[in-house]
Structure 1
Amino acid sequence: MKIRFFRCTIPLSLFFLLTIVFSYSAQATSIRLGNFKFENRSPIYYSNGQGHYCWYENMESFSRLAGNSKWTTLRGKLVDYDMTYDGICTGGESRPSTHPDPTPIRLGNFKFKNRSPIYYSNGQGHYCWYENMQSFSRLTGNAGFRIQGSRLSNYGNVYDGICTGGESRPTSHPDPNF
Protein backbone atom coordinates (compact mmCIF):
# COMPACT_ATOMS: atom_id res chain seq x y z
CA MET A 1 0.00 0.00 0.00
CA LYS A 2 1.20 3.53 -0.74
CA ILE A 3 0.10 6.92 0.57
CA ARG A 4 -0.04 9.95 -1.67
CA PHE A 5 1.20 13.37 -0.49
CA PHE A 6 1.32 16.40 -2.76
CA ARG A 7 2.09 14.44 -5.94
CA CYS A 8 4.57 12.25 -4.09
CA THR A 9 3.95 8.57 -3.44
CA ILE A 10 5.77 6.84 -0.60
CA PRO A 11 5.54 3.24 0.66
CA LEU A 12 3.36 2.76 3.73
CA SER A 13 6.28 1.39 5.81
CA LEU A 14 8.26 4.59 5.15
CA PHE A 15 5.20 6.67 6.09
CA PHE A 16 5.06 5.03 9.54
CA LEU A 17 8.80 5.48 10.02
CA LEU A 18 8.56 9.18 9.12
CA THR A 19 5.53 9.60 11.38
CA ILE A 20 7.44 8.12 14.33
CA VAL A 21 10.49 10.32 13.66
CA PHE A 22 8.43 13.50 13.29
CA SER A 23 6.28 12.69 16.34
CA TYR A 24 9.34 12.03 18.46
CA SER A 25 11.21 15.14 17.35
CA ALA A 26 8.18 17.33 18.07
CA GLN A 27 8.40 16.45 21.78
CA ALA A 28 11.02 18.42 23.67
CA THR A 29 12.88 16.12 26.03
CA SER A 30 15.97 18.02 27.16
CA ILE A 31 17.87 21.22 26.49
CA ARG A 32 21.35 21.06 25.01
CA LEU A 33 24.46 21.93 27.01
CA GLY A 34 24.77 25.61 27.91
CA ASN A 35 22.98 28.66 29.29
CA PHE A 36 19.37 29.36 28.40
CA LYS A 37 16.32 31.39 29.36
CA PHE A 38 12.76 31.63 28.11
CA GLU A 39 11.09 34.50 26.28
CA ASN A 40 9.40 36.94 28.66
CA ARG A 41 10.92 35.20 31.72
CA SER A 42 13.78 36.51 33.83
CA PRO A 43 15.74 33.53 35.27
CA ILE A 44 18.84 32.35 33.40
CA TYR A 45 19.50 28.62 33.63
CA TYR A 46 22.33 26.22 32.84
CA SER A 47 21.72 22.80 31.27
CA ASN A 48 24.31 20.05 31.56
CA GLY A 49 22.95 18.61 28.30
CA GLN A 50 22.01 15.38 30.10
CA GLY A 51 18.60 16.27 31.48
CA HIS A 52 19.57 18.37 34.52
CA TYR A 53 19.53 22.14 35.01
CA CYS A 54 20.19 24.81 37.62
CA TRP A 55 19.60 28.57 37.70
CA TYR A 56 21.84 31.56 38.30
CA GLU A 57 20.70 33.47 41.38
CA ASN A 58 21.52 36.87 39.86
CA MET A 59 23.55 38.51 37.08
CA GLU A 60 26.61 38.70 39.35
CA SER A 61 26.66 34.91 39.81
CA PHE A 62 26.01 34.43 36.08
CA SER A 63 28.98 36.67 35.19
CA ARG A 64 31.22 35.03 37.79
CA LEU A 65 30.36 31.45 36.79
CA ALA A 66 29.68 31.79 33.06
CA GLY A 67 32.23 34.50 32.21
CA ASN A 68 31.51 36.08 28.84
CA SER A 69 29.04 33.36 27.89
CA LYS A 70 25.76 34.22 26.28
CA TRP A 71 22.48 32.38 26.66
CA THR A 72 20.03 30.92 24.20
CA THR A 73 16.50 32.31 24.40
CA LEU A 74 13.88 29.58 24.02
CA ARG A 75 10.14 29.65 23.44
CA GLY A 76 7.76 27.82 25.73
CA LYS A 77 8.27 26.96 29.40
CA LEU A 78 10.39 24.60 31.46
CA VAL A 79 7.42 22.32 31.94
CA ASP A 80 7.65 21.57 28.20
CA TYR A 81 10.92 19.71 28.84
CA ASP A 82 11.70 16.46 30.61
CA MET A 83 14.50 17.75 32.85
CA THR A 84 15.40 17.62 36.54
CA TYR A 85 15.78 20.84 38.53
CA ASP A 86 18.93 20.72 40.71
CA GLY A 87 18.82 24.14 42.43
CA ILE A 88 21.16 27.14 42.25
CA CYS A 89 24.22 26.99 39.97
CA THR A 90 27.44 27.22 42.01
CA GLY A 91 30.10 26.08 39.55
CA GLY A 92 30.26 22.71 41.34
CA GLU A 93 27.47 20.83 43.07
CA SER A 94 24.19 22.73 42.75
CA ARG A 95 22.79 24.19 45.97
CA PRO A 96 19.19 23.09 46.69
CA SER A 97 16.66 25.88 46.32
CA THR A 98 13.00 26.44 45.58
CA HIS A 99 12.30 26.89 41.90
CA PRO A 100 12.87 30.50 40.71
CA ASP A 101 9.91 30.50 38.30
CA PRO A 102 7.21 28.15 39.64
CA THR A 103 4.32 27.07 37.42
CA PRO A 104 1.32 25.89 39.46
CA ILE A 105 -0.02 22.50 38.47
CA ARG A 106 -3.68 22.96 37.62
CA LEU A 107 -6.39 21.95 40.08
CA GLY A 108 -7.23 18.26 40.34
CA ASN A 109 -5.86 14.73 40.47
CA PHE A 110 -2.81 13.93 38.35
CA LYS A 111 0.09 11.57 37.83
CA PHE A 112 3.08 11.43 35.51
CA LYS A 113 3.61 9.02 32.64
CA ASN A 114 5.47 5.88 33.75
CA ARG A 115 5.33 6.93 37.44
CA SER A 116 3.08 5.29 40.04
CA PRO A 117 2.13 8.03 42.58
CA ILE A 118 -1.19 9.82 42.11
CA TYR A 119 -1.31 13.38 43.41
CA TYR A 120 -3.81 16.16 44.02
CA SER A 121 -3.04 19.82 43.23
CA ASN A 122 -4.93 22.71 44.76
CA GLY A 123 -4.09 24.76 41.64
CA GLN A 124 -2.23 27.31 43.76
CA GLY A 125 1.22 25.73 43.94
CA HIS A 126 0.64 23.01 46.56
CA TYR A 127 0.08 19.29 46.10
CA CYS A 128 -0.30 16.09 48.12
CA TRP A 129 -0.01 12.37 47.39
CA TYR A 130 -2.63 9.61 47.68
CA GLU A 131 -0.94 6.96 49.82
CA ASN A 132 -2.66 4.05 48.01
CA MET A 133 -5.55 3.27 45.68
CA GLN A 134 -7.90 2.69 48.63
CA SER A 135 -7.37 6.23 49.93
CA PHE A 136 -7.61 7.61 46.38
CA SER A 137 -10.96 5.80 45.90
CA ARG A 138 -12.26 6.80 49.35
CA LEU A 139 -11.31 10.48 48.99
CA THR A 140 -12.22 11.00 45.33
CA GLY A 141 -14.91 8.43 44.65
CA ASN A 142 -12.71 7.18 41.80
CA ALA A 143 -12.88 10.58 40.12
CA GLY A 144 -9.97 9.69 37.84
CA PHE A 145 -6.78 11.61 37.12
CA ARG A 146 -4.98 13.23 34.20
CA ILE A 147 -1.47 12.52 32.97
CA GLN A 148 0.69 15.58 33.68
CA GLY A 149 3.54 16.46 31.31
CA SER A 150 7.20 17.12 32.09
CA ARG A 151 8.83 16.32 35.45
CA LEU A 152 7.50 17.21 38.88
CA SER A 153 10.63 19.24 39.72
CA ASN A 154 10.00 21.62 36.79
CA TYR A 155 6.82 22.99 38.32
CA GLY A 156 8.32 24.25 41.57
CA ASN A 157 5.20 23.38 43.57
CA VAL A 158 5.24 22.67 47.32
CA TYR A 159 4.75 19.08 48.49
CA ASP A 160 2.48 18.95 51.56
CA GLY A 161 2.46 15.20 52.31
CA ILE A 162 -0.29 12.58 52.16
CA CYS A 163 -3.77 13.63 51.02
CA THR A 164 -6.31 13.11 53.81
CA GLY A 165 -9.33 15.10 52.63
CA GLY A 166 -8.41 17.83 55.13
CA GLU A 167 -4.98 18.93 56.31
CA SER A 168 -2.26 16.92 54.58
CA ARG A 169 -0.23 14.57 56.76
CA PRO A 170 3.52 15.35 56.46
CA THR A 171 5.66 12.49 55.16
CA SER A 172 8.61 11.97 52.85
CA HIS A 173 7.97 12.33 49.13
CA PRO A 174 6.96 9.10 47.34
CA ASP A 175 9.10 9.92 44.28
CA PRO A 176 11.81 12.33 45.56
CA ASN A 177 14.09 12.26 42.50
CA PHE A 178 11.43 13.20 40.00
Structure 2
Amino acid sequence: MGSSTIMTVIRMEKSFHEPMYFFLSMLAASDLGLCVTTLPTILKLFWFNVRDIDFDAYLTQMYLIYIFSLMESGILLSMAFDHYVAISKPLRCNAILNNASIVKIFAVFLLHIIIVLIPTPVLIKRLKFCEANVLSHSYCLHLDVNKLSCSDHRINSLLGLAVIVIKFGVDAVLILLSYVKILATVLGLAS
Protein backbone atom coordinates (compact mmCIF):
# COMPACT_ATOMS: atom_id res chain seq x y z
CA MET A 1 0.00 0.00 0.00
CA GLY A 2 2.86 2.35 0.83
CA SER A 3 4.64 1.72 -2.48
CA SER A 4 1.40 2.23 -4.40
CA THR A 5 0.80 5.51 -2.58
CA ILE A 6 4.32 6.74 -3.35
CA MET A 7 3.94 5.88 -7.04
CA THR A 8 0.50 7.51 -7.27
CA VAL A 9 1.57 10.72 -5.54
CA ILE A 10 4.68 11.05 -7.71
CA ARG A 11 2.63 10.44 -10.86
CA MET A 12 -0.15 12.90 -9.94
CA GLU A 13 1.94 15.74 -8.50
CA LYS A 14 3.77 17.62 -11.28
CA SER A 15 6.28 19.17 -8.88
CA PHE A 16 7.61 15.65 -8.17
CA HIS A 17 8.53 15.04 -11.79
CA GLU A 18 12.26 15.24 -11.10
CA PRO A 19 14.98 12.55 -11.24
CA MET A 20 15.09 11.92 -7.49
CA TYR A 21 11.36 11.24 -7.35
CA PHE A 22 11.40 9.13 -10.52
CA PHE A 23 14.09 6.94 -8.96
CA LEU A 24 12.05 6.76 -5.76
CA SER A 25 9.03 5.73 -7.82
CA MET A 26 11.07 3.02 -9.57
CA LEU A 27 12.28 1.77 -6.18
CA ALA A 28 8.67 1.60 -4.97
CA ALA A 29 7.66 -0.24 -8.17
CA SER A 30 10.41 -2.84 -7.73
CA ASP A 31 9.40 -3.31 -4.10
CA LEU A 32 5.78 -3.73 -5.15
CA GLY A 33 6.84 -6.21 -7.84
CA LEU A 34 8.77 -8.24 -5.28
CA CYS A 35 5.74 -8.35 -2.98
CA VAL A 36 3.35 -9.32 -5.80
CA THR A 37 5.77 -12.05 -6.91
CA THR A 38 6.01 -13.74 -3.50
CA LEU A 39 2.51 -13.07 -2.19
CA PRO A 40 0.55 -15.80 -4.07
CA THR A 41 2.80 -18.60 -2.81
CA ILE A 42 2.78 -17.30 0.74
CA LEU A 43 -1.02 -16.84 0.75
CA LYS A 44 -1.55 -20.35 -0.66
CA LEU A 45 0.63 -21.74 2.09
CA PHE A 46 -0.83 -19.86 5.04
CA TRP A 47 -4.50 -19.60 4.02
CA PHE A 48 -5.06 -22.94 2.32
CA ASN A 49 -2.08 -24.98 3.56
CA VAL A 50 -1.18 -25.76 -0.08
CA ARG A 51 2.45 -26.78 -0.06
CA ASP A 52 2.79 -27.73 -3.73
CA ILE A 53 4.09 -25.55 -6.52
CA ASP A 54 4.47 -26.37 -10.19
CA PHE A 55 8.11 -26.46 -11.30
CA ASP A 56 7.58 -23.86 -14.04
CA ALA A 57 5.77 -21.58 -11.56
CA TYR A 58 8.71 -22.10 -9.21
CA LEU A 59 11.19 -21.04 -11.89
CA THR A 60 9.08 -18.04 -12.86
CA GLN A 61 8.77 -16.88 -9.26
CA MET A 62 12.49 -17.37 -8.61
CA TYR A 63 13.40 -15.47 -11.79
CA LEU A 64 11.10 -12.56 -10.90
CA ILE A 65 12.37 -12.43 -7.31
CA TYR A 66 15.92 -12.09 -8.59
CA ILE A 67 14.95 -9.54 -11.24
CA PHE A 68 13.23 -7.27 -8.69
CA SER A 69 16.00 -7.71 -6.11
CA LEU A 70 18.74 -6.86 -8.57
CA MET A 71 16.62 -4.02 -9.94
CA GLU A 72 16.51 -2.46 -6.47
CA SER A 73 20.28 -2.59 -6.31
CA GLY A 74 20.56 -0.89 -9.71
CA ILE A 75 18.06 1.80 -8.75
CA LEU A 76 19.99 2.53 -5.55
CA LEU A 77 23.12 2.89 -7.70
CA SER A 78 21.24 5.27 -10.01
CA MET A 79 20.10 7.31 -7.02
CA ALA A 80 23.70 7.54 -5.78
CA PHE A 81 24.76 8.76 -9.25
CA ASP A 82 21.89 11.29 -9.20
CA HIS A 83 23.08 12.62 -5.84
CA TYR A 84 26.65 12.87 -7.11
CA VAL A 85 25.61 14.79 -10.23
CA ALA A 86 23.34 17.09 -8.19
CA ILE A 87 26.17 18.00 -5.81
CA SER A 88 29.16 18.07 -8.16
CA LYS A 89 27.46 19.70 -11.17
CA PRO A 90 24.41 21.53 -9.82
CA LEU A 91 24.01 23.82 -12.83
CA ARG A 92 24.15 20.98 -15.37
CA CYS A 93 22.17 18.45 -13.32
CA ASN A 94 18.91 18.89 -15.23
CA ALA A 95 20.68 18.63 -18.57
CA ILE A 96 22.55 15.45 -17.57
CA LEU A 97 19.67 13.70 -15.81
CA ASN A 98 16.63 14.53 -17.91
CA ASN A 99 13.62 12.26 -18.43
CA ALA A 100 15.12 10.57 -21.49
CA SER A 101 18.36 9.70 -19.70
CA ILE A 102 16.44 8.30 -16.71
CA VAL A 103 14.41 6.04 -19.02
CA LYS A 104 17.64 4.91 -20.72
CA ILE A 105 19.32 4.19 -17.35
CA PHE A 106 16.32 2.16 -16.21
CA ALA A 107 16.09 0.26 -19.51
CA VAL A 108 19.81 -0.59 -19.47
CA PHE A 109 19.63 -1.85 -15.87
CA LEU A 110 16.54 -3.94 -16.58
CA LEU A 111 17.93 -5.40 -19.80
CA HIS A 112 21.26 -6.16 -18.11
CA ILE A 113 19.52 -7.96 -15.25
CA ILE A 114 17.29 -10.00 -17.54
CA ILE A 115 20.24 -11.08 -19.71
CA VAL A 116 22.44 -11.93 -16.72
CA LEU A 117 19.71 -14.05 -15.16
CA ILE A 118 18.66 -16.00 -18.30
CA PRO A 119 21.10 -18.90 -17.66
CA THR A 120 19.71 -19.53 -14.15
CA PRO A 121 16.37 -21.17 -15.05
CA VAL A 122 17.94 -22.88 -18.08
CA LEU A 123 20.55 -24.55 -15.88
CA ILE A 124 18.00 -25.43 -13.21
CA LYS A 125 15.79 -27.14 -15.80
CA ARG A 126 18.58 -29.64 -16.53
CA LEU A 127 18.83 -30.80 -12.88
CA LYS A 128 17.44 -34.16 -11.76
CA PHE A 129 15.40 -34.62 -8.58
CA CYS A 130 15.21 -38.02 -6.90
CA GLU A 131 13.31 -37.65 -3.64
CA ALA A 132 10.65 -35.59 -1.92
CA ASN A 133 11.15 -31.94 -2.74
CA VAL A 134 10.44 -29.75 0.26
CA LEU A 135 11.54 -26.13 0.16
CA SER A 136 12.93 -24.42 3.24
CA HIS A 137 11.12 -21.14 2.44
CA SER A 138 7.61 -20.20 1.45
CA TYR A 139 8.97 -18.66 -1.74
CA CYS A 140 11.39 -19.90 -4.38
CA LEU A 141 15.15 -19.49 -4.08
CA HIS A 142 18.00 -20.73 -6.25
CA LEU A 143 19.89 -22.26 -3.33
CA ASP A 144 16.87 -24.34 -2.29
CA VAL A 145 16.52 -26.05 -5.65
CA ASN A 146 20.26 -26.74 -5.74
CA LYS A 147 20.07 -28.50 -2.37
CA LEU A 148 17.14 -30.64 -3.54
CA SER A 149 18.93 -31.82 -6.68
CA CYS A 150 20.55 -35.26 -6.73
CA SER A 151 22.59 -34.41 -9.84
CA ASP A 152 25.73 -32.30 -10.04
CA HIS A 153 24.73 -28.70 -9.31
CA ARG A 154 28.15 -27.06 -8.97
CA ILE A 155 27.68 -25.00 -12.15
CA ASN A 156 24.34 -23.71 -10.84
CA SER A 157 25.86 -22.84 -7.47
CA LEU A 158 28.82 -21.06 -9.06
CA LEU A 159 26.55 -19.16 -11.46
CA GLY A 160 24.25 -18.06 -8.63
CA LEU A 161 27.20 -16.97 -6.51
CA ALA A 162 28.83 -15.16 -9.43
CA VAL A 163 25.65 -13.26 -10.32
CA ILE A 164 25.07 -12.15 -6.74
CA VAL A 165 28.70 -11.23 -6.04
CA ILE A 166 29.18 -9.42 -9.34
CA LYS A 167 25.87 -7.56 -9.39
CA PHE A 168 25.51 -6.71 -5.71
CA GLY A 169 29.28 -6.37 -5.21
CA VAL A 170 29.81 -4.05 -8.16
CA ASP A 171 26.74 -1.99 -7.27
CA ALA A 172 27.85 -1.70 -3.63
CA VAL A 173 31.36 -0.61 -4.64
CA LEU A 174 30.02 1.95 -7.13
CA ILE A 175 27.54 3.32 -4.57
CA LEU A 176 30.35 3.63 -2.03
CA LEU A 177 32.57 5.29 -4.64
CA SER A 178 29.76 7.72 -5.49
CA TYR A 179 29.37 8.77 -1.88
CA VAL A 180 33.14 9.08 -1.43
CA LYS A 181 33.17 11.40 -4.46
CA ILE A 182 30.24 13.34 -2.96
CA LEU A 183 32.13 13.70 0.32
CA ALA A 184 35.27 14.83 -1.54
CA THR A 185 33.23 17.35 -3.52
CA VAL A 186 31.55 18.74 -0.40
CA LEU A 187 34.88 18.99 1.46
CA GLY A 188 36.40 20.64 -1.60
CA LEU A 189 33.59 23.22 -1.65
CA ALA A 190 34.08 23.98 2.04
CA SER A 191 37.74 24.75 1.55
Into which bin does the TM-score normalised by the smaller protein fall? under 0.3
User: Which structure shows the higher helix fraction?
Assistant: 2
TM-score normalised by the chain length of structure 1: 0.24
The higher-RCO structure (CA 8 Å, 6+ apart) is 2
- TM-score, normalisation: structure 2: 0.23
More strand by share: 1
